[in-house]
Structure 1
Amino acid sequence: MVDTATCQVTGYLYPWDILGDPGAAGRIRATGVDRVALAAAYHSVRAATPRHPARRIVDAHSAALYVPPGTAFDGQPLAPAGAEPWTGTDNAFAAAASELRNAGIPVDAWTVLTHSSAAGGSNRDLCVLNAFGEVYSYALCPSQPAVRTYAATVVARILQVGRPDGLVLEAAGPLGFSHQNRHEKTEGAEYSPWVQALLSLCFCAACTAGYRERGLPAEEYRQRVRELVLAAQDPDAAPGDAAGAHGLLPLLEARWDAAAALLDRCVQAAADSGAEVRLSLHATPDPWSTGPFLPLDALRRSLLWPARGDAAAVVPCWGGSAQSGDLVRDMAGTGTRTGAYVLALPPKTHDAGGLAAEWRHLVDAGASELHVYHLGLASTRRLEAVREAVRMVRGRA
Structure 2
Amino acid sequence: MDAGIYVYPWDVVGDPAAAERIAGLGVGHATVAAFYHATRALTPRHPAHRVIVAERSAAYLPVGSAWSGLLPEAQGWVPGQDVFGETASALAGAGVATHAWVVVDHVDGFDGPHVVNAYGDVYPWALCPANESVLEYAVGLAAVVAERPDIAGVEFEAAGWYGFDHLNQHDKVAGIPLSEDEQFLFSLCFCPACCAAYREAGVNAAQLRSAVRARLDATFEGRVGAVFDADLGDAVAAMRGRVADRLREAMVREVRSQRSDPGFAVSFHATPRPRVSLANTGLDMATLPSGTSGVVVNCWKGSAEPVAASVGHGVDVYAGLLGIRGMGGDPDGLARVIGDVRAAGAAGVRIYHAGLAGADDLTAIGKALADA
- Same fold by TM-score greater than 0.5: yes
Relative to structure 1, the CA distance from residue 99 to residue 275 in structure 2 (aligned partners, 3 Å threshold; closer, same or farther) is: farther
Relative to structure 1, the CA distance from residue 329 to residue 250 in structure 2 (aligned partners, 3 Å threshold; closer, same or farther) is: same
- What amino acid is the match of 1:115? H
**TM-score normalised per structure 1:** 0.87
Identity %: 36
Partner of 2:71: 79
Relative to structure 1, the CA distance from residue 234 to residue 219 in structure 2 (aligned partners, 3 Å threshold; closer, same or farther) is: closer
Maintained 8 Å contact 1:138/1:180? no
Give the whole-Å Cα distance in 1 for the aligned partners of 2:146 and 2:91.
17
Relative to structure 1, the CA distance from residue 195 to residue 34 in structure 2 (aligned partners, 3 Å threshold; closer, same or farther) is: same
The Cα shift of 1:90 comes to 2.3
Give the whole-Å Cα distance in 1 for the aligned partners of 2:221 and 2:249.
38
| SS of 1:188 mapped into structure 2 | coil
| SS of 1:39 mapped into structure 2 | strand
Partner of 1:272: 257
Give the whole-Å Cα distance in 2 for the aligned partners of 1:340 and 1:245.
32
> What pairs up with 1:56-205 in 2 under 5 angstroms?
56-73=50-67, 75-76=68-69, 78-83=70-75, 85-119=76-110, 122-123=111-112, 126-161=113-148, 163-205=150-192
Residue 34 (structure 2) pairs with residue 40 (structure 1) = yes
Partner of 1:349: 330
Give the whole-Å Cα distance in 2 for the aligned partners of 1:359 and 1:337.
15
- What amino acid is the match of 1:48? L
The Cα shift of 1:336 comes to 2.6
Maintained 8 Å contact 1:256/1:295? no
Give the whole-Å Cα distance in 2 for the aligned partners of 1:183 and 1:275.
44
Match of 1:328 among 307, 321, 331: 307
Q: Moved runs in structure 1, 4+ residues, more than 6 A?
A: none
Q: How many positions carry a matched residue from both structures? A: 365
Maintained 8 Å contact 2:301/2:329? no
Residue 216 (structure 2) pairs with residue 232 (structure 1) = no
Give the whole-Å Cα distance in 2 for the aligned partners of 1:202 and 1:136.
9
Larger proportion of helix:
1
Relative to structure 1, the CA distance from residue 67 to residue 290 in structure 2 (aligned partners, 3 Å threshold; closer, same or farther) is: same
Q: Deviations over 1:316-348 (max 9, x none)?
A: 111242xxx221111113343111011112311
Maintained 8 Å contact 1:341/1:373? yes
Structure 2 unpaired stretches of 5+: none
Give the whole-Å Cα distance in 1 for the aligned partners of 2:8 and 2:160.
22
Q: Deviations over 1:225-281 (max 9, x none)?
A: 11110123799x9xxxx7545531111111111111111111121122346421111
Partner of 2:297: 315
Maintained 8 Å contact 1:172/1:294? yes
Match of 2:287 among 294, 298, 301: 301
Structure 1 unpaired stretches of 5+: 1-6
Give the whole-Å Cα distance in 2 for the aligned partners of 1:341 and 1:19.
25
Residue 204 (structure 2) pairs with residue 217 (structure 1) = yes
- What amino acid is the match of 1:106? A
- What amino acid is the match of 1:294? T
Relative to structure 1, the CA distance from residue 320 to residue 355 in structure 2 (aligned partners, 3 Å threshold; closer, same or farther) is: closer
Q: Could you tell which deviates more after superposition, 21-30 or 273-282?
A: 273-282
Give the whole-Å Cα distance in 2 for the aligned partners of 1:180 and 1:189.
16
The Cα shift of 1:138 comes to 1.0
Give the whole-Å Cα distance in 2 for the aligned partners of 1:69 and 1:275.
22
Match of 1:288 among 261, 270, 275: 275
Residue 340 (structure 2) pairs with residue 361 (structure 1) = yes
Maintained 8 Å contact 1:174/1:291? yes
| SS of 2:175 mapped into structure 1 | helix
| SS of 1:194 mapped into structure 2 | helix
Give the whole-Å Cα distance in 1 for the aligned partners of 2:313 and 2:191.
32
Maintained 8 Å contact 1:39/1:93? yes
The Cα shift of 1:385 comes to 0.5
